[in-house]
Amino acid sequence: MKRFLAFIAVFVAMSSSVVAAEKGLEIQGRKLISRTPAFTLTLPAELRMVHSSTAEYPKENSRTRAYFFVSEKSGQVEQMLIVQIADRTNPEAELISAPPLKPDTEKGLYAKGKLTREMVGVDYLIQLIAWIPDSPSLQPIVKKGLRIPSHLAIQGQMMFVYGGEHAVFLRYSKDVGSFGMKTSGKGADWNRESISGNEKKVQEIFQKDFMGAIHSLTFKTP
């Protein structure tokens, strides 16, 4: 079941097994609503869905649904959210499990931990990343005609396993240039040991907003 965490590049490459995702997840204003499994959370901003798909993994007795959401300005992406949900399809198969989240680099890691929401353990991390428009994982967005800038971004990840039947992996990121402050495009200026000035302000704003989204998590739907 740990195949759930395979990067979306692998997910997209298996086009022969990809079909349209069922309407199991949507956004209403800033609220993200999932019906299977049942949960809601409040996002830092309003986003819109641009793509959804489902891949079947018969050998692993699971399927993975993927949903892509964005906010953009003049056709250029400023924020993006990717949600993957793995569902156990065989009730007699082993329960779904997932390894802990790992940052891309330790220097770019700002926060990492685990908390409990309504008796469900939620892993999270916040880190600096670089958006790469040519990445296979982002092609569902690019093919919609949206431009993804080759910029640094702050990313928050959240993951939880729901009763062994579902695993949810959420990645929300925001262009560092979209906070209304002049910031550096050099990764070295964002290292956690030396970050300061506007870079530090951006990191703190993002971290506060993303942690607020985690604390808004509730396991029910309207």
Domains parsed from the chain with CATH numbers: 2-215 (3.40.1000)
Q: CA angle 204-104-124, nearest 5°? A: 55
pTM, full prediction: 0.90
Statement: residue 10 has pLDDT above 70: no
Cis bond before residue 37 (omega within 30° of 0): yes
Statement: residue 18 has pLDDT above 50: no
Mean pLDDT for 133-159 is 93
Of residues 13 and 94, which shows the higher confidence score?
A: 94
Predicted local distance difference test score (pLDDT) of residue 220: 84
Give the least confident one: 9-23, 103-117, 149-163: 9-23
Predicted local distance difference test score (pLDDT) of residue 13: 37
* Mean of pLDDT over the chain: 88
Statement: residue 76 has pLDDT above 90: yes
Mean pLDDT for 112-118 is 95
Dist. CA 161–CA 122, nearest whole Å: 8
Mean pLDDT for 36-60 is 92
Statement: residue 39 has pLDDT above 90: yes
Q: Which of 72, 36, 30, 27 is nearest to 54 (CA)?
A: 36
Largest CA distance in the chain: 55
Amino acid in position 59: K
